[in-house]
Amino acid sequence: MADNLTLAALFKRIALLLELKGENPYKIRAYRRAAEALAALETPVTDLWATQRLTDIPGIGDAIAKKIDEYLRTGRLTFLERLEEEVPPSLVEVTQLPGLGPKKVRRLWQALGITDLNSLESAAREGRLRALSGFGVKSEARILEAIQAYRARPRGFLLGDARPVALRLLAILRDLPQIARAELAGSIRRGKALVGDIDLLLTSPVPEQALQAALKALQQPETPLTTHPTYAEAALTLPEGLPLHLSAAPPNRFGTAWVLSTGSAAHLNDLQQLAAARGQDPEAPFATEREYYAALNLPWIPPEIRQGNGEIEAAQHGRLPALVTAEAIQAELHSHSTWSDGRASIRAMAEAALARGLRVLAITDHSQSLGVAHGLTPERLRAQREEIRQVQAALGGQILLLQGAEVEILADGSLDYPDEVLAELDIVVASLHTSLRQPRERITQRLLKAIRNPHVHIIGHPSGRLLPHRAGADLDWEAVLTAAAENGVALEINAHPRRLDLDASLVRQAVARGILLAINTDAHSPADFDHRIYGVLTGRRGWATADDIINTWPPARLQTWLQSRRP
DNA sequence: GCCGTTTTCGGCCCGACTGTTTTCAGTCG
């Protein structure tokens, strides 16, 4: 499915460059729609291409089909290449600044010759922006601030981008006869939301040979190896732009190498101190991780909690949590259909959920005020209930469908449906989407009001952050967690790789207070259900057990809880 | 550029907020 996502990214880029060029907005939207369609496609685009059925995909017509064909045949997209000559690609970065969209960036470019962050910064410093209509002294200050924040942004790749690449590489490497074993290490194995690179660990009696074979298989045979007494390593950059770090160790020290290459630095530091206190060598060779930890008189510690914040002490006292697993998830409680902004029908979503082994699916489309997402009025909500009933009847008892809603928390903290409408729903997810930049006091009170509404079961993506660099709302978390605990409302761990919200550190605080959590994918298409693993990894990083996560509960228990919250 | 119980042209999801305006364009979700 790599081609689906690559093509989607290329068409998204075309859309943005066309916008900067000032093209027809509907043409731009067509490219965006095509990108979304490709990203949500459940079959490899190459299959449809091979059978000349590309235009069967809604949103893809003759022109875009031809471009897909060119890319799949030649690996190039001349249309994009020409576009990049007309529009400076460095402008794309400028549109990343909040408040600067394509129209303003285009004016900066056309009127002032600004092509990148540096030239924008000098122009703002020198007060040259205020000459343009629509820009004033305030926007100059805001832009300078935004550039600062952008440069200081957290670096890294989304877990959801890097992990699939890493798994694909592992599959290639595991097929090589020179490699006895290949495993994920580093921050991807630990499940961090943002990762700096891909770390893979190989083993072979002759580590250098394993590395050489790997580099050849990855078509980077010229990459230099660094040889150490006990292991060898190599670093390169993949065509996707992701740095890859490969290391290889002999089987008798694979366990040690795996611990060391998994990290985190803080965890390793704690291990080192423990070893020193016991007069042991922290790099002594062990074949398995279990043996490595056992030598320090510790049980094996799951990679997700190797963060250097109490896991070793917990291990020493036999208090390591039994972390939630992906297999334990039985319910998806936040999903969208074509009734609002989803890309698939209720039937298609239900079948996809069933195919992934889920026993409960809640359809939670947007509420009326989210116009952009085609939110449902109470009338359409009632009509939708009938369709859900029909799909439920068609699928029988294999999966339980719930009707819910993702209800807007409006700017004053009230919900977007009156109580009597909420009372008719099986499940209510309440979320913030707008006015996320309200001051702390105001937005906290707004969220607290929603938490206290007795119809609300789950607060969706509580902070509203968008990775890699849109921070969430400025919330008073102490107040939010206290209110969630008091009112028995579940907080969501939204599994979308751009969100992973709650963040793992907040998950840990919530778990410590006994707050219920929900791991939901917020799926807008069947393919999105596969984001679940990122939510699970985030929950594990926050020390969550299956019991903390309402999606692991058997359907009967879940339903009892949903109903018990009714006033 | 896509699409069609409005079929080969003329439409194409909406509404609040913001900073800059003096009546609104652009951004954002």
Helix (H, G, I), strand (E, B) or coil at A367: strand
Contact A201, A261 (CB under 8 A): yes
Which of A36-40, A45-49, A180-184, A530-534 has the least mean pLDDT?
A: A36-40
Token digits of residue A195: 């990762």
Say yes or no to pLDDT of A343 above 90: no
Q: What is the pLDDT of residues A37-80, one digit of tens each?
A: 888 888 899 999 999 999 999 899 999 999 999 999 999 999 99
The reply to whether A310 has its C-beta less than 7 Å from any atom of strand B is: no
Say yes or no to pLDDT of A29 above 80: yes
Name the H helices within A238-356: 254-262, 265-277, 289-295, 311-316, 346-355
Q: What b/e readout covers A150-170, taking b as 16+ CB neighbours within 10 angstroms? A: eeeeeebbbbbbbbebbeebb
The reply to whether A70 has its C-beta less than 7 Å from any atom of strand B is: no
In this structure, the number of other CB atoms found within 10 A of the CB of residue A229 comes to: 4
Q: What is the pLDDT of residues A125-149, one digit of tens each?
A: 998 988 888 888 888 988 898 898 8
Residues A545, A549, A553, A556, Cα dihedral to 10°: 150
Contact A446, A453 (CB under 8 A): no
The reply to whether A276 has its C-beta less than 7 Å from any atom of strand B is: no
The reply to whether A463 has its C-beta less than 7 Å from any atom of strand B is: no
Q: Provide the pLDDT for residue A97.
A: 87
Token digits of residue A182: 């290949």
State, as a whole number of angstroms, the distance between the CA of A16 and the C1' of B11: 23
Distance set, CA A174 to CA A55, A179, A190 (Å): 37, 7, 21
Q: Provide the pLDDT for residue A490.
A: 97
Token digits of residue A485: 């605990």
Distance CA A57, CA A70 (A): 17
Pairing type for strands A181-185 and A198-203 reads antiparallel
- Which of A123, A160, A173, A161 has its CA nearest to residue A143? A123
Mean pLDDT in chain A?
93
Query: What is the distance in angstroms between the CA of the first residue and the CA of the last residue of chain A?
Result: 46
Q: For residue A312, name the pLDDT band (cuts at 50, 70, 90).
A: very high
* pLDDT average, residue stretch A390-404: 95
Helix (H, G, I), strand (E, B) or coil at A245: strand
* pLDDT average, residue stretch A96-114: 90
One-letter-per-residue 3-state SS of A173-194: HHCCCCCCEEEEEHHHHHCCCE
Q: Provide the pLDDT for residue A299.
A: 98
Q: What is the pLDDT of residues A500-516, one digit of tens each?
A: 999 999 999 999 999 99
Say yes or no to pLDDT of A517 above 70: yes
Which of A112-126, A394-408, A412-426, A431-445 has the least mean pLDDT?
A: A431-445
More confident residue, A533 or A133: A533
* pLDDT average, residue stretch A167-178: 96
State, as a whole number of angstroms, the distance between the CA of A127 and the C1' of B25: 22
Q: What is the pLDDT of residues A371-381, one digit of tens each?
A: 777 788 898 89
A415: left (phi over 0), alpha (psi -120 to 50) or beta: beta
Sheet containing A181-185: order of strands: A181-185, A198-203, A243-249, A232-237, A226-227
Say yes or no to pLDDT of A388 above 90: yes
Distance CA A307, CA A540 (A): 12
State, as a whole number of angstroms, the distance between the CA of A17 and the C1' of B17: 26
pLDDT above 90 covers a percentage of chain A that reads: 74
User: Helices A378-395 and A346-355: crossing angle, nearest 10°?
Assistant: 40
Residue A144 burial class via C-beta count within 10 angstroms: exposed 0-12, middle 13-18, buried 19 and up: middle
* pLDDT average, residue stretch A249-254: 96
A 205-224, residues with C-beta < 7 Å of strand B: none
The reply to whether A96 has its C-beta less than 7 Å from any atom of strand B is: no
Q: Provide the pLDDT for residue A399.
A: 97
Q: What is the pLDDT of residues A346-366, one digit of tens each?
A: 999 999 999 999 999 999 999
Token digits of residue A461: 């993506």
Distance set, CA A303 to CA A263, A312, A538, A543 (Å): 8, 12, 12, 11
Q: Provide the pLDDT for residue A172.
A: 96
Say yes or no to pLDDT of A269 above 90: yes
Which nucleotides of chain B does any protein CB come within 7 A of?
1-3, 11-21, 25-29
Name the H helices within A417-529: 419-422, 440-452, 477-487, 504-512
* pLDDT average, residue stretch A376-403: 93
State, as a whole number of angstroms, the distance between the CA of A36 and the C1' of B2: 14
State, as a whole number of angstroms, the distance between the CA of A373 and the C1' of B8: 30
Q: What b/e readout covers A469-505, taking b as 16+ CB neighbours within 10 angstroms? A: beebbebbeebbbebbbebebbbbbbbbbbbbbbbbe
* pLDDT average, residue stretch A535-563: 98
Q: How far is CA A40 from the centre of its chain?
A: 15
A 398-437, residues with C-beta < 7 Å of strand B: 411, 433-437
Which of A28-32, A119-123, A201-205, A410-414 has the least mean pLDDT?
A: A410-414
Q: Provide the pLDDT for residue A470.
A: 77
pTM (global) more than 0.85: yes
Say yes or no to pLDDT of A1 above 70: no
Distance set, CA A255 to CA A235, A276, A291, A293 (Å): 21, 19, 7, 9
Q: What is the pLDDT of residues A419-461, one digit of tens each?
A: 999 999 999 999 998 888 788 888 899 999 999 999 999 999 9
Say yes or no to pLDDT of A255 above 90: yes
Q: Provide the pLDDT for residue A527.
A: 87
| Residue type present at position A200 | L
- Give the DSSP H or E segment for A331: strand A331-332
Contact A258, A201 (CB under 8 A): yes
